[in-house]
A and B are shown apart, each in its own frame.
Chain A
């Protein structure tokens, strides 16, 4: 096993990407993900891999599109306003069946917003932020070590399903330092060949990467292939974690940094005799709706807590329908909910 290091979330994501075999990284500077870019600037060339500081987010995501087409593992990272700029490219990646990893260290919005932690990009990430009928797999780490593990997983899932995968973390996770045991590096040469890649038509017919066909029937067929893949992903890749839900009367649904805060709230609530549990989606898309529905059959109330105006709350209500009460508490603009404040919300709904 590797040794434990004290590292910042952004550095852990960068290092995990390197260990996952990311051969090409392209990005544009933006706070609060700058350390990720800087770590890659130092370490990618040292390993003989590609680091390019792109002229824009548009360029960065399209360089990713090119590198992914050529068959290598590739990544870009940014924060909210920059991720908005990448949406065109993400739509093309999805439409062209290209694997790539996109990291969003979310900050307060809309517009320029601020540089404080937020979860206000949930809609954009999970509903397909660009044009067209598509999804990305969206992974929401809750701690710095998990950010590393999910970065590794993101590359695996991207290749397995030929789809863009987003790591959706907030500024808190990007900036926070925690002791981490870094994942073991994979052997790049052991990765399966990508027979579809545009890496030279030697001894085979040419490969074409595209998201385009003017014949509606053909484009429909291309869409159906995507949708079939999304159904497979929904069937196989749902990930979530339940904490103290066995005897719970009330459950909180939260992901990322908020879920971590809720773990403290559970202890506080239980000390006061309130049986509080946590349901933490790890895959934000596919959303663990069925498991949440099951939990809602056991508890009277499912409180959603987010650093947004209630974006994931829509998915929660969709999953639970009328099965339980579904109140919401959220903070916006980069304000992080305190355990005390969350506890007082819990008390409003605890019987």
Chain B
């Protein structure tokens, strides 16, 4: 049957807030899905003209390229402090940081916890893929017990390297944060839930409710040495056992 291009109905499109810059992420990595969800959220809330994104150091270092809004590239681990500076300077801006597990939960530990503890009215997207992706697959603070990485070739031994850090649970025991949740992206159901969570985290900020953190369990097929489909299964079957999905704080 010939296709009538003129009269095709548009059912799916790139969000306006998502640029057409070429992605730097590996095939099968969840960063791309997450980036799209954030752009879509910015569109839905109509906040592109007052949003400032903070890019981390790590695989998401190019995050300033993906969104059609103002952006700042921050020093490794300091994105939450930079976000604090932007938001305090101009509270009418919507400020989000996008940080990996090394950035947010290792080198940026102090900045991450204290921004949350001050209840900064910002939105933090924390991508937990249990590995340092950009530098070559080293152990992350979130790496699982026994996980083989380039710096734990025998697997993460808790006696030597400690345990996977449940950073969102640490944030959740503070008084100030209004929303702390852990989400995943390995199937449609999880993507829909994560989308809702991210929208809530941005909406909280728009409504001036305070600090929101969305941790997202993501895959790293390249450094996990897995096919994308197996990486998805790994999150569902293995990673989730250490990092349980769901809301940890919801004072919204």
Q: Assess whether B89 is in contact with A23, with CB atoms less than 8 Å apart.
A: yes
Which residues of chain A from 44 to 70 have a CB within 8 Å of any chain B CB?
A: 50, 52, 54-56, 58-60, 62-70
The 0/1 profile, CB within 8 Å of A marked 1, for residues 97-124 of chain B is 0000000000000110110001000000
How many residues of chain B get a CB closer than 8 Å to chain A's CBs?
36
Are A202 and B49 also in contact (CB < 8 A) when A58-B110, A89-B78 are? yes
Pick the contact of B73: A24, A89, A210 (CB < 8 A): A210
B68, B81, B118 interface centre (most CB from chain A within 10 Å): B81
Is A209's CB under 8 angstroms from B111's CB? no
**Contact pick for A66, options B51, B69, B72, B110, CB 8 Å:** B72
CA distance A294 to B185 in the complex (A): 69
Cβ-defined contact, B50 with A66, below 8 A? no
A71 at the interface (CB under 8 A from B): yes
B232 proximal to A (CB < 8 A): no
Asked whether A63 and B81 contact (CB < 8 A) given A55-B110, A56-B110, A210-B64, the answer is yes
Least CB distance, A164 to chain B, in whole angstroms: 14
Residue A296 lies at the interface, judged by CB distance under 8 Å to chain B? no
B50, A202: Cβ atoms under 8 Å? yes
Known: A59-B110, A202-B50. A66 touches B71 (CB 8 A): no
Q: Could you say which of B49, B64, B73, B81 contacts A201, with CB atoms under 8 Å apart?
A: B49
Contact B85 A74 (CB under 8 A): yes
Q: In whole angstroms, how far apart are the Cα atoms of A202 and B54 in the complex? A: 18
Complexed CA–CA distance, A71 and B87 (Å):
12
Query: Considering only CB atoms, which chain B residue lies closest to A211 in the complex?
Result: B73
User: At the interface, yes or no: B34 with Cβ under 8 Å from chain A?
Assistant: no
Min CB distance, A93 to chain B, in Å?
10
- Contact pick for A67, options B54, B71, B78, B86, CB 8 Å: B86
List chain A residues, Cβ under 8 A from B70: 198-201, 206-208
Name the one of B71, B82, B85 contacting A208, with C-beta atoms under 8 angstroms.
B71
- Chain B nearest Cβ from A68, distance in angstroms: 8
Q: Are A62 and B111 in contact (CB under 8 A)?
A: yes
Q: Do A201 and B68 contact each other (CB < 8 Å), given the known contacts A59-B111, A63-B88?
A: yes
Interface residue from B73, B78, B84 paired with A58 (Cβ < 8 Å): B78
* B61 on interface, CB distance cutoff 8 Å: yes
Q: Among B69, B70, B85, B111, find the residue whose CB has the most chain A CB atoms closer than 10 A.
A: B85
Return the chain B residue nearest A197 by Cβ: B70
Which of A58, A69, A202, A211 makes the CB contact (< 8 A) with B85? Answer: A69
- Are A59 and B93 in contact, with the CB atoms below 8 A? no
Q: Is the CB of B49 within 8 A of A66?
A: no
Distance in angstroms between the alpha carbons of A199 and B86 in the assembled complex: 8
A70 touches B78 (CB 8 A): no
Residue of A nearest to B75 (CB): A92
Which has the most chain A C-beta neighbours within 10 Å: B75, B88, B89, B90?
Answer: B89
Q: Does B37 contact A (CB under 8 A)?
A: no
Residues on B with C-beta less than 8 A from A202 are 49-50
Q: Does A212 contact B (CB under 8 A)?
A: yes
The answer to whether residues A200 and B72 also contact, given A52-B84, A62-B81 and a CB cut-off of 8 A, is no
Q: How far is the CB of A51 from chain B (nearest CB, A)?
A: 9
Residue of B with least CB distance to A212: B73
Nearest-neighbor residue (CB-CB) of B77 within chain A: A58
Find the B residue at minimum CB distance from A24: B89
Indicate if the CB atoms of B111 and A66 lie closer than 8 Å.
no
Per a CB cutoff under 8 Å, which of B69, B71, B84 touches A209? B71
A50 partner residues in chain B, CB cutoff 8 A:
88-89
Kindly list chain A residues whose C-beta atoms are within 8 Å of the C-beta of B61. Answer: 212
**Is A72 at the interface (CB under 8 A from chain B)?**
yes
Q: Is A230 interfacial (CB 8 A cutoff)?
A: no
Task: Point out residues on B near A: beta carbons under 8 Å.
Answer: 48-52, 54-55, 61, 64, 67-75, 78, 81-90, 92-93, 110-111, 113-114, 118
9 examples of A-B residue contacts, CB within 8 angstroms? A24-B89, A54-B114, A62-B85, A63-B82, A63-B88, A66-B85, A69-B72, A200-B51, A200-B92
List the 4 shortest-distance A-B pairs measured between CB atoms, nearest first: A66-B85, A62-B81, A210-B73, A198-B70
